[in-house]
């Protein structure tokens, strides 16, 4: 059974960057895409982007274009999400999730990491 | 970007009630629509994918329907463990979540 294990909580100052990792165990990492989703305190879910580890191709939400970079290392079954130019509004729990295709064309997130808390404060 | 609008944003219901949540997409998305449940402090959990397919292990009291722009999620008989926040999410272009519906105890 696939599990996604995320790196620990981070504290950053405004203007800096943060890199969160997501290690896949118990499954074939490169078979499926990985998405990154965040949730600010008391708020809803927001998709940042995703990557297909097989091809190394990433796509990003328009709101985060230019500020987020998602990469994958198939040799270690690890996906990474780097967010730069941090501001206080980026304080949130960041989740990775397996983004699995359904033959009809839908993609759904069926396995989630437990989340990484990123706090941005001066 | 495709916008997803859920309604209501919150509701109060009793154990045994039927609960229905709607989700509207800003453009047609076929059946590329999923539903998640989230409890405080936990990651979201997939309940329904492709608008109406029940995820393995999810109780049959959960169901979904719709296509195009209008979708419905229902719980046929609300159980104590169902009090949570529910989100719709489209995968037609990128990924977008609805703003969530909090189901509270009446």
* Residue % of chain A over a pLDDT of 70: 100
A71: confidence class by pLDDT, cuts 50, 70, 90: very high
For the cut 80, the answer to whether the pLDDT of residue A96 exceeds it is yes
| Rounded alpha-carbon distances, angstroms, from residue B73 to A26, B20, B53, B62 | 32, 6, 11, 7
Other Cβ atoms closer than 10 A to B8: 12
For testing contact with chain A, the best of B6, B36, B88, B95 (most A CBs within 10 A): B95
Q: Which residues of A touch B1 (CB under 8 A)?
A: 61-62
CB neighbours of B93 closer than 8 A, spacing ≥ 6? B1, B2, B29
Three-state SS for A43? Answer: coil
Give A84's DSSP letter: -
Give the residue, A56 or A24, on which the prediction is more confident.
A24
Size of interface A-B (CB pairs under 8 A): 75
CA distance A88 to chain B (A): 21
How high is the pLDDT of residue A3? 95
Burial class (CB in 10 A: 0-12, 13-18, 19+), B52: middle
How high is the pLDDT of residue B20? 98
pLDDT single digits (tens) B50-95: 999 999 999 999 999 999 999 999 999 999 999 999 999 999 999 9
Q: Which residues of A touch B38 (CB under 8 A)?
A: 45
Beta bridge partners of A46: A38
How high is the pLDDT of residue A27? 79
Rounded-to-integer distance, Cα B60 and Cα A35, Å: 27
Round to the nearest angstrom and report the end-to-end CA distance of chain A: 40
- The shortest CB-CB distance from A112 to any of B31, B43, B53 is to B43
CB contact under 8 A, B87 and A35: no
CB contact under 8 A, B50 and A99: no
How high is the pLDDT of residue A29? 77
How high is the pLDDT of residue A119? 98
Q: Which residues of A touch B50 (CB under 8 A)?
A: 102, 104, 106, 108
- The answer to whether A58 and A48 are in contact (CB under 8 A) is no
* Residue % of chain A over a pLDDT of 90: 82
- A42 in B contact zone (CB under 8 Å): no
Average pLDDT, chain A: 94
pLDDT single digits (tens) B5-55: 999 999 999 999 999 999 999 999 999 999 999 999 999 999 999 999 999
| Rounded alpha-carbon distances, angstroms, from residue B67 to B6, B46, B61 | 15, 19, 20
What are the φ/ψ torsions at residue B101 (nearest 5 degrees)?
Answer: -130, 120
B102: confidence class by pLDDT, cuts 50, 70, 90: very high
By CA distance, what is B46's nearest residue in A?
A110
pLDDT single digits (tens) A3-41: 999 999 999 999 999 999 999 998 777 788 999 999 999
By CA distance, what is A48's nearest residue in B?
B95
A53: confidence class by pLDDT, cuts 50, 70, 90: confident
By CA distance, what is B101's nearest residue in A?
A44
- The answer to whether B5 and A80 are in contact (CB under 8 A) is no
CB contact under 8 A, B55 and A114: no
């Amino acid at each position: 059974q696939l599990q996604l294990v995320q790196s620990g909580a981070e504290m950053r100052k405004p203007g800096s960057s943060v890199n969160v990792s997501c290690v896949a165990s118990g499954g074939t990492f490169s078979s499926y895409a990985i998405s990154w989703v965040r949730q600010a305190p008391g708020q809803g879910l927001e998709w940042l982007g995703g990557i297909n580890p097989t091809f190394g191709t990433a796509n990003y939400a328009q709101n985060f274009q230019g500020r987020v970079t998602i990469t994958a290392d198939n040799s270690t079954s690890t996906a990474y999400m780097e967010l730069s130019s941090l501001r206080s509004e980026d304080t949130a729990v960041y989740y990775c999730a397996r983004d699995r295709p359904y033959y009809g064309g839908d993609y759904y997130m069926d396995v989630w990491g437990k989340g990484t808390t990123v706090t941005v404060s001066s | 970007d495709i916008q997803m609008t859920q309604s209501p944003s919150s509701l109060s219901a009793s154990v045994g009630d039927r609960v229905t949540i709607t989700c509207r997409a800003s453009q047609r998305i076929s059946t590329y629509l999923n539903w998640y449940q989230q409890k405080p402090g936990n990651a979201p959990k997939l309940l329904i994918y492709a608008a109406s397919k029940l995820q393995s292990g999810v109780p049959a009291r959960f169901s979904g329907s719709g296509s195009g722009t209008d979708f419905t999620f229902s719980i046929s008989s609300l159980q104590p463990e169902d009090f949570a926040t529910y989100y719709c999410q489209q995968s037609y272009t990128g990924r977008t979540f609805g703003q969530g519906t909090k189901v509270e105890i009446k």
